[in-house]
Amino acid sequence: MGMKRILVTGADGFIGRKLTERLIAEGYEVTGFDLRHGDICEKDALEKNVELPVDYTFHLAGKTFVPDSWNDPQDFYRVNVLGTLNVLEFCRRSGSGLTFVSSYVYGKPEYLPVDEKHPVKPFNPYSHSKIIAEELCRYYCDEFGIESCILRPFNIYGPGQSDRFLIPEIIKKVLDPSTEVVEINDERPKRDFLYIDDLICALIKTMTAPRTFYNIGRGESISVKDLICFVFSITGISKQIISLGKERQMEIFDLYADIKKISHDLSWKQKTLLSEGLKLSITHLKNLRK
């Protein structure tokens, strides 16, 4: 194995926990950095807390909940931009390669599916902070020779995700016996949902990927309403769906990823069907309720 020591920022987050588990299972020595160790925006925070050498870094730390980015954009820019700059400086000094986990950064799609050639356009402060962070990665790659790969996940879900996000929120409402209806803001938007384990497989493959960026998703979309009905069919529970018709700021009503590039370059493919991923997520939440 060429690379032994791995740094994972945001190691205590939804993706970070899963990635750390998989890396350890595959024989890597993993160092995690999260809020328990310090503020990633503080200069030299990584140098003070991470023992060298580090062969590769996965940068997952950041602010992620899109609605919050409208309420406190400054904090999103601070953490997502300055934090990424500090990670890049750490990689420059340590000689570590880097995978940066970005996000959907294309705004309202001009065409579907959305491929990597689609124009980038910020549509909320969160996505804008990720675009700036990507630019930093590219600059450090060009000017300082940092071997970096950028992954742009569309919508990730799975056991352990916060119920502030759509799929665990839906499952929680369906399973809750005290809730007679499933109330949502808007049943219309369609999204591309990828199971967490499939993302983790792709992340590990990026350690030997070329200096480039990839979209990652299932490559197809499903509406919020159809997603709820899917959960109904899996659980055997049926409730009234109430859509409040609250359209989010800068809402996009359909998007899904073109995944040909990552499939070709990294020999990656989705292994977990949406039905399987939902069953695993439902089982996890049922076990938590016991």
What would the two tokens of residue 52 be? 């060298």
How much is the pLDDT for 203?
Answer: 98
Mean of all residue pLDDT scores within the chain: 95
Rg (CA), the chain: 19
Do residues 93 and 86 make contact, with C-beta atoms less than 8 angstroms apart? no
Do residues 48 and 54 make contact, with C-beta atoms less than 8 angstroms apart? no
In the chain, what percentage of residues exceed pLDDT 70? 99
Q: How confident is the model at residue 240 (pLDDT cuts 50, 70, 90)?
A: very high
Q: How confident is the model at residue 46 (pLDDT cuts 50, 70, 90)?
A: very high
> Stretch 153-182: mean pLDDT, rounded?
95
| Cα–Cα dist 269/217, whole Å | 10
Instruction: Check pLDDT > 70 for residue 275.
Output: yes
Instruction: Check pLDDT > 90 for residue 57.
Output: yes
pLDDT in tens, 92-121: 999 999 999 999 999 999 999 999 999 999
pLDDT in tens, 64-88: 888 899 999 999 999 999 999 999 9
How much is the pLDDT for 3?
Answer: 65
Q: In 102-224, at which residue ranges do the beta strands (DSSP E only) sit?
A: 148-153, 155-157, 181-184, 190-191, 193-195, 213-216, 222-223
Buried b (16+ CB within 10 A) or exposed e, 66-100: beebeeebeebbebbbbbbbbbbbbbeebebbbbb
> Stretch 23-39: mean pLDDT, rounded?
95
> What is the three-state SS of 84-133?
HHHHHHHHHHHCCEEEEECCCCCCCCCCCCECCCCCCCCCCHHHHHHHHH
Instruction: Check pLDDT > 70 for residue 194.
Output: yes
In the chain, what percentage of residues exceed pLDDT 90? 91
Instruction: Check pLDDT > 90 for residue 35.
Output: no
Reported as half-sphere exposure (CB side, CA atoms, 13 A), residue 153 has a value of 22
All domains of the chain, ordered by start, with CATH?
Answer: 5-159+195-219+256-271 (3.40.50.720)
Helices (H) and strands (E) in the chain, counts: 11, 12
| pTM of the entire predicted model | 0.95
How much is the pLDDT for 1?
Answer: 47
How much is the pLDDT for 9?
Answer: 98
Instruction: Check pLDDT > 80 for residue 249.
Output: no
